[in-house]
Amino acid sequence: MELRFFDDPAAFLDVAGETLAAQPVLSTVIAGIAERVRSQREAGIAWPDGVPCWFAVALDGDEIAGTAMRTAPFGDHPAYLMPMPEEAVHLLARTLLDRGEPVLGANGALPAVRTFCEDMAAATGRQARVAQHTRLFELGDLVEPRPTTGHLRPATPDEQPLVTSWYDAFMADADEQAGREPGESPHESPTDEEMRRRIDSGRIFVWVDDDRPVNVTAASAPAYGVSRIGPVYTPRERRGRGYASAAVYGVSALLREAGERPCLFTDQANPTSNKIYEAIGYRPLVDMANLRVE
């Protein structure tokens, strides 16, 4: 087993792209972020100071046995692991420790993330624990939800402060609904510049009712034809009216019309969101987790 690290996402995609493209839904996060970082570098956008940025490939002979990355700009900068053999996980953890890079958290595929965090915990005198159980869904047959009032449209630049506040509220409410401590779940809070780029790209939508935005639903840029929906957020006082179902249905339809394959992640501790997405045609693909070493 051999590890190869890449600081350049383009070089990483040259090596791992064919493997990622063979399972594009499962690879949506790592492929999407690698593509985004590559595009930003080509546009001359600097990477944030102090945030790690590497991608890794585990090779078993000439075969790619797994991939990983560390690009998260939040928390302790957790790693992200795709499925890989236990031997490759141990090698990744040992290599990072040997180069003085303890990683105190990881997101991604089970059991790889659990094994990785247990190795980090054992080496640093800490404990590994699950902060959040997640589930990856892919859209099957799209089913129209019950009608509600309002309509879907792209967010506008003047709505950036509102959209940003809803992004922040999304994870806070998710933790509260799941009975976790505030800030328990690792998540990204986009910078103003990054949020502006996302709005300008037309990938952030609002559901509008009575001339007021009542929901935000976003979609990532496609990677190997797959787009990831999220976050999906409706303010507390506007819930129960079908806005989230209608917005996700509408965005999913737009993505499919554009020839993209929609997918999304849910928090397994939130049965309401799981039920909503399954009702409009999303089907579970694989369970994942966010773990912390503390």
Place of tokens 């928090």: 267
Portions of the chain given CATH number 3.40.630.30: 139-286
Instruction: Examine the pLDDT at 215 and tell me if it is beyond 60.
Output: yes
Strands (E), 102-240: 105-109, 128-139, 151-154, 204-209, 212-219, 226-233
Place of tokens 């999407």: 32
Instruction: Examine the pLDDT at 176 and tell me if it is beyond 90.
Output: no
Surface-to-core class of residue 31, CB atoms within 10 Å of its CB (0-12 exposed, 13-18 middle, 19+ buried): buried
Q: Compute the Cα dihedral for 124, 130, 131, 134 and give only its sign.
A: positive
- With cut-offs at 50, 70 and 90, classify the pLDDT of residue 257: very high
CA distance 87 to 71: 23
CATH code for 139-286?
A: 3.40.630.30
Contacts 24+ apart (CB under 8 A), 19-25: 19/64, 19/67, 20/67, 20/223, 20/224, 21/224, 24/223, 24/224, 24/225, 24/226, 24/261, 25/136, 25/138, 25/226, 25/261, 25/263, 25/285
- Half-sphere CA count of 289, side-chain side, radius 13 A: 16
Query: Under 8 Å CB-to-CB from 43, ≥6 apart: which residues?
Result: none
Q: What is the pTM of this model?
A: 0.91
pLDDT number for residue 270: 83
- With cut-offs at 50, 70 and 90, classify the pLDDT of residue 97: very high
pLDDT number for residue 186: 57
- With cut-offs at 50, 70 and 90, classify the pLDDT of residue 269: confident
pLDDT, tens digit, for every residue of 3-36?
A: 999 999 999 999 999 999 999 999 999 999 999 9
pLDDT (mean) for 260-277: 91
pLDDT (mean) for 243-255: 98
Highest mean pLDDT among 38-47, 136-145, 185-194: 136-145
Q: What are phi and psi of 227, to 5 degrees?
A: -120, 140
pLDDT (mean) for 59-63: 95
Instruction: Examine the pLDDT at 188 and tell me if it is beyond 80.
Output: no
188 or 37: which leads in pLDDT = 37
CATH 1.20.1740 holds for 2-126: no
pLDDT (mean) for 105-116: 97
User: What totals of helices (H) and strands (E) does the chain contain, helices first?
Assistant: 8, 12
Distances from the Cα of 132 to the Cα of 7, 26, 119, 266, angstroms: 28, 18, 19, 10
Q: In degrees, to the nearest 5, what angle opens at C-alpha 103 toward C-alphas 100 and 232?
A: 150
CA distance 80 to 207: 32
pLDDT number for residue 11: 98
